[in-house]
Amino acid sequence: MKKLIGLAAAGALIVGLAGCASGGSGGGAAEGPVPLDELVVGFAQVGAESGWRTANTKDIQASFEEAGIELKFSDAQQKQENQIKAIRSYIQQGVDYIAFSPVVETGWDAVLNEAKAAGIPVVLTDRAVDSQDDSLYVSFLGSDFIEEGKKAGQWVLDEYADATEKVNIVQLEGTTGAAPAIDRAEGFAEVIAENENLEVIASQTGDFTRAGGKQVMEAMLKSNPDIDLVYAHNDDMGLGAIEAIEAAGLVPGEDIKIVTVDAVKDGMQALADGKINFIVECSPLLGKQLVDIITTLNEGGTVEKRIITEETTFTQEQAIEALPDRQY
């Protein structure tokens, strides 16, 4: 933990000294690594909106526990102002590193400049910021969401390769302004544009939640009688859509096909049951890699600016085979 030395005097002057070797970007090199049992990391999590997020939180907490590194953790309930407050609190506490998953891409420069001024390195996990100044964070660890959207689009392109009529697609978007929502939409649109019969006739945010997906799907079913396929930016919204489709007396996976992203257990079960047709994996298991980034920096090492997580896709058969071993 950084040591803030307060000099008591009239007009007290608080001088923040990067007392800890780990302060500053890779300050470990100058003064040697901080013993892991003295290292303190502040993590500002998005919330607990989905099965993916819950698995991500559990994995990060378990990884730091296993490494014997103190992790201060906050849940922002999907509100940017709460994440900013948490980051400011970590700066005040003089943690050695800050890591967070930005709920939306914009609006981070001010608080990240405060962390930089305090000499506290920041690691982005899961989601990106759109800042032009990439000195504000040391590394961004997470998926390539555009690639995920392309994988989803490619399945739709293949599924309807012989379509001679219009294919009506509705899109359940993630949180408005969030990198995965923006990029999964972009990648998907780029690929399906190769077949003019494939058309997104409605697109709306369900905020990555099951309830949101159900609510939006209910409205879409009312205003679009002939939906062929749902593309949901995460499993949870796809599972909500299943509830709405079944309530409307239709068969999910048959009357209306469903493609989602994440591959959490509930989504994989729905895929195995034929209610979802295809899932693009987005791994929430970032904890070990985050610990490795921080221990490397603490030892004065350097890390890649962009670390992309490995992930795959699942058909129904693959889901049936993979389910017994799924960790989340």
Conformational region of residue 68, where left means phi above 0, alpha means psi within -120 to 50, and beta covers everything else: left
CB of 140 to ligand GZL, least distance (A): 12
Closest to ligand GZL by CB, 228 vs 235, is 235
Closest to ligand GZL by CB, 279 vs 294, is 279
CB of 239 to ligand GZL, least distance (A): 11
Structural contact between residues 279 and 235, judged by C-beta atoms closer than 8 angstroms: yes
Conformational region of residue 196, where left means phi above 0, alpha means psi within -120 to 50, and beta covers everything else: alpha
Closest to ligand GZL by CB, 80 vs 195, is 80
CB of 121 to ligand GZL, least distance (A): 22
- At 226, which amino acid appears? D
Structural contact between residues 229 and 168, judged by C-beta atoms closer than 8 angstroms: yes
Closest to ligand GZL by CB, 50 vs 63, is 50
**Residues of the shown chain interacting with ligand GZL in the complex, contacts defined by CB under 6 A:** 49-50, 52-53, 126-127, 142-143, 180, 208, 234, 236, 261-262, 282
CB of 265 to ligand GZL, least distance (A): 13
Number of Cβ atoms within 10 Å of the Cβ of 301: 14
Closest to ligand GZL by CB, 295 vs 309, is 309
CB of 42 to ligand GZL, least distance (A): 19
- Read off the tokens for 168: 């009506």
CB of 50 to ligand GZL, least distance (A): 4
Is the sign of the CA dihedral 213, 186, 60, 1 positive or negative? Answer: negative
Closest to ligand GZL by CB, 40 vs 44, is 44
CB of 129 to ligand GZL, least distance (A): 13
Closest to ligand GZL by CB, 76 vs 282, is 282
Q: Give which of 113, 97, 105 is closest to 21, Cα–Cα.
A: 97
Alpha helices in the chain (DSSP H): 28-31, 51-67, 80-93, 109-117, 145-159, 179-192, 210-223, 235-247, 265-272, 287-298, 316-322
Written in H, E and C, the secondary structure of 164-223 is: CCCEEEEEEECCCCCHHHHHHHHHHHHHHCCCCCEEEEEEEECCCCHHHHHHHHHHHHHH
Residue with the closest Cβ to ligand GZL? Answer: 52
